[in-house]
């Protein structure tokens, strides 16, 4: 009996280590990684903030920007036309000077539940990141979405209530500066990574 107990004491840490190692490997091999589970990300409190470009952000957003958590401000619209619906989703960073913002643009996203991979096959397709000044009228650095890596850039729609307009989403996007921009802005980072992103907002419907 004593020998059986000793064997179990030896095997138990090995089993636990193997399971943990397997889980970590599975997470590393997930092409759509999110560090925080969806159910821990969302709250009921909404913020209403006027941005530097005088747009109104309703809701909240956040992400890890190059491993540092940052507060973001979402704006979502749905332009409803006779033959089509044109959705847009922007998330802004305020840099604190009353003038300069970072803008993450998700171009024509679907608001249906699902995971949507993002990539720039053509110029500005799917989305981009830019630094804007002068109340949003002038752009500076422009970044496209990085394509060649195992972990994908993606937008994950958790839920969208068509009646109320409430939208919940997650995202991970890895941007790379255009070559021409690197010459103009040599001191700016060549890549910017947003991961574990959270968006909770209301979609404004615009009928045209």
| Number of structural domains found in the chain | 2
121 vs 153: which has the higher pLDDT: 153
What token pair was written down for 196?
A: 């574990």
10-21: average pLDDT: 44
How confident is residue 119, by pLDDT bands cut at 50, 70 and 90?
Answer: confident
Same domain, 136 and 150: yes
The 10s digit of each residue's pLDDT in 68-106 is: 999 999 999 999 988 889 999 999 999 988 889 999 999
121-149: average pLDDT: 78
Same domain, 17 and 45: no
The phi, psi pair for 162, rounded to 5°, reads -60, -35
Residue 171: alpha-carbon gap to chain centroid: 3
Which domain does 91 fall in, by range? Answer: 33-207
Model confidence, pTM: 0.83
- Residue 2 has a pLDDT of 52
Same domain, 26 and 37: no
- Residue 66 has a pLDDT of 95
């Amino acid at each position: 009996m004593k020998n059986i107990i000793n064997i179990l004491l030896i095997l138990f840490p090995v089993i636990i280590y193997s399971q943990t190692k397997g889980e970590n490997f599975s997470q590393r091999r997930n092409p759509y990684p999110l560090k925080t589970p969806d159910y821990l990300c969302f709250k009921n409190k909404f913020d209403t903030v006027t941005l530097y470009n005088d747009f109104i952000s309703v809701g909240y957003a956040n992400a890890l920007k190059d491993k540092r958590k940052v507060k973001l401000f979402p704006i979502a619209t749905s332009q409803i036309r006779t033959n089509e619906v044109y959705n847009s989703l922007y998330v802004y960073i305020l840099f604190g000077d009353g003038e300069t913002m970072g803008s993450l643009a998700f171009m024509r996203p679907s608001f249906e539940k699902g995971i949507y991979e993002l990539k720039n096959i053509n110029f500005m397709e799917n989305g981009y990141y830019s630094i804007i000044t002068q109340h949003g009228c002038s752009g500076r650095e422009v970044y496209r979405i990085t394509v060649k890596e195992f972990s994908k850039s993606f937008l994950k729609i958790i839920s969208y209530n068509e009646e109320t307009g409430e939208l919940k989403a997650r995202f991970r996007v890895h941007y790379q500066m255009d070559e021409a921009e690197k010459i103009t802005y040599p001191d700016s980072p060549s890549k910017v990574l947003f991961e574990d992103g959270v968006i909770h907002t209301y979609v404004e419907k615009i009928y045209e």
